[in-house]
Amino acid sequence: MNHIVHLDIDTFFVSVERILDPKLEGRPVIVGGNPLAGRGVVASCSYEARQFGVHSAQPIRLAHRLCPKAIFLSGNYLHYSKYSQTVSQILKEITPIREQASVDEFYIDLSRTERYRGDAYVWAQEIRKTLNGETHLPISCGFSTNKLISKIATSVKAKHNPERHFKVEPGFERQFLSPLPIRAMPGIGEKMEEELRSFGIDRIGQLAQTEVQTLQRLFGKTGKALSEKSHGIDYSSVVETREQQAHSRQTTFDNTIDVALLFAKLQSLASEVAQDLRRAKKFTSKVSLTLRYSDRTIVSKMMSCAYTNRDMDIYHLAVKLFKKLWTRSVQVQQLSIACSQLLDDLEQQYLFDDAEQECAKVYSVMDLLRAKYSKSIIGFANVQLR
């Protein structure tokens, strides 16, 4: 029998900020940017802020109107990454198979472990307690026979359980799902929820009673998947997390055509992803830029380059890509820079090149200053390539 665990770090960004500054405990906290600047969206918010209607992906200005007394933080993604990596490393050391689904979500496969570890559910609780004790992060745990049910168990039960864990017994998957609102099902967004409600389907149990042919007629291939999920069926396996094959950074705007702002953000993103590469001791030879217009059209291009992990090298390529992508007089909503085709230990090639060694020292000092103070403490002069 399968024993699948889903772990979720509650309000992850906010939880890290509270570890760094305990004075934030119990207060409404919103991570995502400065509401006075009027740009950005909510990346994470505390439960105290949610009581006022604030939620993730909400425009930061709206969040400020709903909860003006909240503490707004720009966020320190270096710290968030560090805590996420710590959780991942602990799981790697104490569990047989683990998959990192996102920066704050993990799956563990404890199937066929009873012989040497005893009851798998008891072990899952021990794992959660170990993570909480070593990181001080609030972690919730769902347990069942597959990834789908465990994830839902975490979100609708474990997070609201003082003990922060919940088990769905084998054979009771449909009974567990039936009374839940359809939005509790992963993959059902606002638009699909409206469509299903228009047909009188409000609960997952009603979805399970709907013929699969009807769902296929309404939603195509997705209809069959919806039918299977509503019956608690999920064939996906926990896939061992492999080493990161790319580094990326992105930023979201409140829709803009301000060229100076766009170039400034490109430079900021390039510096952030370059610093990520240097921290991981990686070099990239492929840089890609993804641009999302305000009408939700997404375009992307990639360019090859000599191996590098320097801010300005990546920025120069990003500018060239941007000029090729921004071909419409439509506002920009999001920019993303990704670096792939990674290589290790290229520093050895620079051992006998004094200029390269001096350049590496400059970047090393910059990284130390950014880590100690803030990412904006030092940078390059704004450069706009014509």
Give catalytic residue positions.
Answer: 105
Round to whole Å and give the CA distance between 106 and 114: 21
Round to whole Å and give the CA distance between 194 and 213: 20
Round to whole Å and give the CA distance between 239 and 340: 21
State which amino acid sits at residue 31: V
**How many alpha carbons lie under 13 Å from residue 316 in its C-beta half-sphere?**
9
What are the DSSP calls for 302-318, one per residue?
Answer: EEEEEEE--HHHHHHHH
- Residue 67 per-residue DSSP state: -
Bridge partner list, 55: none
50-63 exposure pattern, b = at least 16 Cβ within 10 A, e = fewer: bebebebebbbbeb
In a 10 Å sphere around its CB, with 0-12 CB exposed, 13-18 middle and 19+ buried, how is residue 354 labelled? exposed
Cα dihedral 183, 187, 188, 190 sign: positive
The answer to whether the beta carbons of residues 335 and 291 sit under 8 Å apart is: yes
The answer to whether the beta carbons of residues 228 and 210 sit under 8 Å apart is: no
Q: Which two tokens stand for residue 266?
A: 């490109």
Rounded to a whole number of angstroms, the CA Rg of the chain reads 23
Round to whole Å and give the CA distance between 299 and 62: 28
Q: Which two tokens stand for residue 317?
A: 């390529």
